[in-house]
Amino acid sequence: MATYKTLSASLNWPTGLPAPGSTVLISGGLESEGSVLIPHFVNSTFESQQPVILLSFRQTFNHYMHIMRKMGVNLARHKLQFVNGLVQADFSALPPATRPHFTLDKWPEFFQWLNEQPPSLLIIDGLCSLLDQGFGMSQVLQFFVSCQRIAETKAELGGGYAGLVVNVLLDEFSELLVRSMIRRSHYFFSFEGLSSGASNDVSGQLTVIPGHLHCQIQTQAKDFKPALLHYRVSDVTVQFFSPGQSSTVL
C-alpha cells in the first residue's frame, strides 16, 4: 500500500483522508477506471480505526475481498459492511461471511439503515449504473445528495470519521449527472488515458482538483494541493508518481 502514500503526500492528506464530512467524487472511463482508488480509501479508513460502508452497483463482495487481499488487507479483520446494489442477484448460495449486510431494494429503508449506523466512510461504487436501470438523472442526484447529507450530519455530531466517496463512469450518457455531482463535491478525482497515447509503463493520469464545495471546509482547506499524477496498475498494487518519474522509465 506504500504507493498510495505517494498520492496522500501529493494531496497533503497525512491520514490519506480529507476532512470529516467531505464528499469525494471519482470519475473514470472504460480504460481508466477510478475504482483503483477504492482500496486506498478503505485502507486509510482502517488505519484510522474507523468503519467503512461499501455500497456497490457493480460487483459482489467477493470481488472487493479478492482485490484487497492481493494488496495485503484482510477485510475480515476490520469494520466493513457491504451493501448490495445488485438487487436482482441471488446471494443465498454464498457463505454467510460473504453475503451482503444489506440489500438496496427500497431507498427509504436503506437511508433508515444508514442513519442507524455509527459514523463511517460511505463508499459508493458505480452510482451511474442506476441510469442503466431506468432511473432518471434527478432521481440519481437525489440519492447522491441524501447520502451526502447523512454523512455530513454524522460528521457534525462527531464520535468518529464520516464522509462520502463516490466512483462513477463518465461517458456521454452520464456527463450531465457527473457535472451536477462535481458542483456538490469537495474534491474531484478524474482518471483519464494519457494525452500522448497508450504506454506499457503508464496506465493513465489522475487529476485532482477542488470541487465547488471545497471553500466550505474549515480545516485542511488551505493545506490541500491540487495534483496531476501518472499511475500504473499491476496485479498487486497501484503506483502513483509525477509525470516522467515512473520506476520503469527511470
Whether the predicted pLDDT of 248 surpasses 60: no
Whether the predicted pLDDT of 145 surpasses 70: yes
pTM of the model: 0.88
Percent of the chain with pLDDT over 90: 40
DSSP state of 162: -
- Tell me the pLDDT tens digit for each residue of 26-77: 999 877 788 889 988 998 999 899 999 999 998 888 888 888 888 777 777 7
Cell numbers 516522467 correspond to what residue?
244
State how far the Cα of 178 lies from the Cα of 120, in Å rounded to an integer. Answer: 24
Whether the predicted pLDDT of 107 surpasses 60: yes
Contact 104, 85 (CB under 8 A): yes
Q: What would the mean pLDDT of 71-98 be, rounded to a whole number? A: 72
Total count of residues recorded for the chain: 250
State how far the Cα of 248 lies from the Cα of 250, in Å rounded to an integer. Answer: 6
State how far the Cα of 214 lies from the Cα of 167, in Å rounded to an integer. Answer: 18
Contact 84, 104 (CB under 8 A): yes
pLDDT, position 1: 43
Comparing 249 with 85, the larger pLDDT belongs to 85
Q: What would the mean pLDDT of 79-100 be, rounded to a whole number? A: 71
Q: CA–CA distance from 100 to each of 46, 87, 148 (Å)?
A: 19, 11, 22
- Tell me the pLDDT tens digit for each residue of 219-229: 555 577 788 88
175 SS3 class: helix
Q: What would the mean pLDDT of 167-191 be, rounded to a whole number? A: 92
Whether the predicted pLDDT of 122 surpasses 90: yes
CA dihedral sign, ordered 57, 15, 148, 108: positive
pLDDT, position 204: 87
